Amino acid sequence: MSTAIESVVDSTAAAVRARALGKRYRAKWALRDCTFELPAGRVAALVGANGAGKTTLMSVLAGLLDADEGSAGAAGRVAFVSQEKPVYRNFSAADMLRLGARLNVVWDEARARRWLARFEIPLDRSCGKLSGGQQAQVAFALAIGSRPDVLMLDEPLANLDPLARREVTAELLGEVDETGMTVLLSTHVVAELSGVADYLLLLAHGRLLAGGDLDELLGRHVSYTGPRSDVPPALGQVVEARHTDRQSTFLVELPEGQPRPVVAGPWVERAPTLEDYVLAQLEATRKGVRA
Amino acid sequence: MTANTTAGTTTAAPVTKRTRVGWGDLVWLTWRQHRWVIIGLVAAVGVVVALALTVAWQVDATGDAQRLFGRWRFISVGSVVLLAPMATGLAIAVFWAAPVLAREYEQRTHLVVWSQDVTPTRWLTGKVVLLGVPAVALAVAVGLASSTMLDSINAASDRPPFPAFEMPAFEAVPLVQAGYAAFGFALGLALGALTRRTVLSMGLALGLFLAARVVVAGVLRPNFQAPLHEVQTYGAFQRSWDGPGDGSWTVNSGFVGPDGREVPFPSTCSTAQDSAAYTKCMEDSNVLFFQDYHPVERLVPFQLVESAIFIVLAAGLLALTFVTVRRARRA
């Protein structure tokens, strides 16, 4: 957590930033030319297919890996929970909290205990005897208790059951409201992010495909459905085009600074969901790579 | 520094804030993680020390190393106790040090501990100091106890059953034990950092520790300094052989002619009926006996060199460990 490269700044500034960030494993670049600024107090989703570089990016931002080019920094203290949600197997949950209290300069015991109580994790049983989901909750409690300025969670929902997923995201949002921390969470399950994240970082093949405020991003895109056609009914960049025998669907990025076009006739206009948008973007890069 | 241990779910518990993570916190972590290994090795060393000191006290009190409760010889008990100075460094390498980093990497918990407010370097420094120093201290205790016992048994015997210059007495002194322990600790730690596998690093630590010991003791030690060369008649050699010994260490011996060149054993003498005839036959054949040896004054310097070799190796391995852990951020 001692990766505070830049000092803590006021809430309007960036909590996490990367400039031309690159990281390679031997000759293969896992991350290339990554530039973004995540404003403080946001809940950002880092989305990408498996192997897109999400874990690498988070590890670099958390200070566990050094970048090969460019720079990265987080304002203040960073807590990172890796994908495996590791815990010391012969430690009890209470021991893990003691570890958090001992190894952090800021520690909020009550908050950590509240998290464990919320998910009914026994404090005295060794973590090795807890289920994978329970171990994940211990790892979350440790991260929450350290009162980070930036909380980074790698695939936080991966080994949780559907109910726990909803509860964890709700609790996380509660913590964000109370503490004002910035959250960066990675996932490849996009559907669970709607209503959670308000910022999007879309990663594909080690490059940042899109990034920005979620409402703004989605607002710039429109989904049109209508009769079979080779072109969409309005001007703009086609992100994705899907055709059946009789029907065509387009996801279009509208040109900036122009009023929203009005389409009529057989075309139906719809605001894309986060999932529509992400899947279309990922699909587009996959086709691009194949070509 | 103390954790806020307010029980229950009261939200009144204040947030603890301080400027840095202290040594006390690293002590807590190290003890909580490694307490069973620590207790196990401390108990084993305690048994060895108690046994060695009991033997020493008994031999000193009775002035007799031959009988123990009328059944066993103190020398046999001593031989068993002397397995400890041979095994301490090895046990430290395999059980004490090898799992320290390997298990963290294997269970991915290095990501937990290094994600708190403690850098990998500081965490590793803590482990080296808090586990390495006690390991060396335990080995020194083993060395002190076993050398005390050896001195008692040797003093009570006409001819020392454990010559100070030879294995295992040479190794059973605090100085050499400290070198082995430091080397064992650094070796296990470095292998854990390099392999990131617990069982593999333990196995390699076992093999490499033994290999280093065999090479240093068998190949290097006799040549720490050029041995002295002494040529005498077989009769003179035989008279010195029957004496109490001067504590020197013979590393090579054989037969030479009057010109000092090595010659094969004169086969005609093998039919000699008794010792006098044998000696006369050797002299008639112009065959002399030579010994390459290190005089007893070289004992402590040799122990210093032996210890220094292992301490230098340990320093190198520790540096390698720190570099490897630092490097891990780049791959």
| Residue where the block lists tokens 């060149």 | B261
Question: Which residues of chain B neighbour A106 with C-beta distances below 8 Å?
Answer: 15-17, 117
pLDDT tens column, A221-276: 888 988 888 888 888 888 888 888 899 889 888 887 777 777 777 888 888 888 88
What pLDDT shows up at residue A12? 57
How high is the pLDDT of residue B158? 80
- What residue type is assigned to position B98 of the chain? A
> Under an 8 A CB cutoff, do B9 and A110 touch?
yes
Q: What are the structural domains, with CATH classification, of chain A?
A: 4-213 (3.40.50.300), 220-290 (no CATH)
Cβ count within 10 A of residue A55: 19
Determine phi and psi for B241, rounding to 5 degrees: -65, -35
Q: Residue B214 in 3-state DSSP?
A: helix
- The β-bridge relationship of strands A43-48 and A182-187 is parallel
In angstroms, what separates the C-alpha of B43 from chain A's closest C-alpha?
22
Contact A100 B108 (CB under 8 A): no
Burial string for B93-106 (b: 16+ CB within 10 Å, else e) reads bbbbbbbbbbbbbb
- The amino acid sitting at A148 is P
Is some CB atom of chain A closer than 8 A to the CB atom of B29? Answer: yes
Distance from CA of B319 to the nearest CA of A (A): 20
The rounded average pLDDT for each run of 10 residues, N- to C-terminus, in chain B (331 residues) is 43 75 94 95 96 90 73 78 93 96 94 92 96 97 94 86 88 96 98 97 98 95 91 78 73 85 81 81 84 91 96 98 85 55
ipTM of the complex: 0.84
Q: Which chain B residues are Cβ-neighbours of A87 within 8 angstroms? A: 109, 112
Residue A8 contacts B where some CB pair is shorter than 8 Å: no
- CA dist A252 and B303 (Å) reads 81
Q: What is the pLDDT of residues B184-232, one digit of tens each?
A: 999 999 999 999 999 999 999 999 999 999 999 999 999 999 999 888 8
For the four alpha carbons of A213, A214, A219 and A225, in that order, the dihedral sign comes to positive
Count of all residues that appear for chain B in the document: 331
HSE-up of residue B111 (Cα within 13 Å, Cβ side): 23
The reported pLDDT for the residue numbered B1 is: 41
C-alpha torsion A253→A254→A255→A258, nearest 10: -160
Whether the Cβ atoms of residue A54 and residue A203 lie closer than 8 Å to each other: yes
Within 8 A of A76 by CB-CB distance, chain B residues are: none
Query: CA–CA separation, A209 vs B255, rounded Å?
Result: 85
Instruction: From first to last of the 291 residues of chain A, give the pLDDT tens digit.
Output: 444 444 444 445 789 989 989 998 888 888 888 899 999 989 999 998 878 888 999 999 988 888 889 988 888 899 999 999 999 999 999 999 999 999 999 999 999 999 999 999 999 999 999 999 999 999 999 999 999 999 999 999 888 888 888 899 999 999 999 999 999 999 877 877 777 889 999 988 888 888 888 888 888 888 898 888 888 888 888 888 888 889 988 988 888 777 777 777 788 888 888 888 888 888 877 765 443
A260 touches chain B (CB under 8 A): no
Query: For chain B, what is the total number of helices (H) and then of strands (E)?
Result: 12, 4
Q: Contact A114/B11, CB-based, under 8 Å?
A: yes
The H or E element containing residue A199 is strand A199-204
Q: What is the pLDDT of residue B298?
A: 93
Encoded tokens for B99:
């799992």
A17 contact partners, CB below 8 Å, separation of at least 6? A6, A36, A37, A38, A72, A73, A74
Name the residue facing B16 among A62, A78, A107 (closest C-beta).
Answer: A107
| pLDDT score of A1 | 46
Cβ proximity of A151 and B115 under 8 Å: no
At residue B291, the pLDDT reads 87
Record the pTM: 0.87
> Per-residue DSSP letters for A5-32?
EE----TTSEEEEEEEEEEEETTEEEEE
Task: Judge residue B39's burial from the number of C-beta atoms within 10 Å of its C-beta, 0-12 exposed, 13-18 middle, 19 or more buried.
Answer: exposed
Q: Which helix (H) or strand (E) holds B229?
A: strand B228-232
Q: What are phi and psi of B253, to 5 degrees?
A: -155, 160
B72: which strand partners?
B68
CA distance A113 to A133: 17
Residue of chain A whose alpha carbon sits nearest to that of B116 = A1
Q: Which two tokens stand for residue A144?
A: 């929450």
Contacting B residues, span 116-145, partner chain A, CB-CB under 8 Å: 116-119
Given an 8 Å threshold on Cβ–Cβ distance, is B111 in contact with A86?
yes
B-chain residue closest to A139, CA distance = B112
Residue in chain A lying closest to B109 (CA): A86
Cβ–Cβ of B21/A104 closer than 8 Å? yes
The whole-number pLDDT of residue A199 equals 92
Residue B258, number of CB atoms within 10 A of its CB: 10
pLDDT of residue B96: 95
Task: Say if the Cβ atoms of A110 and B10 lie within 8 Å.
Answer: yes
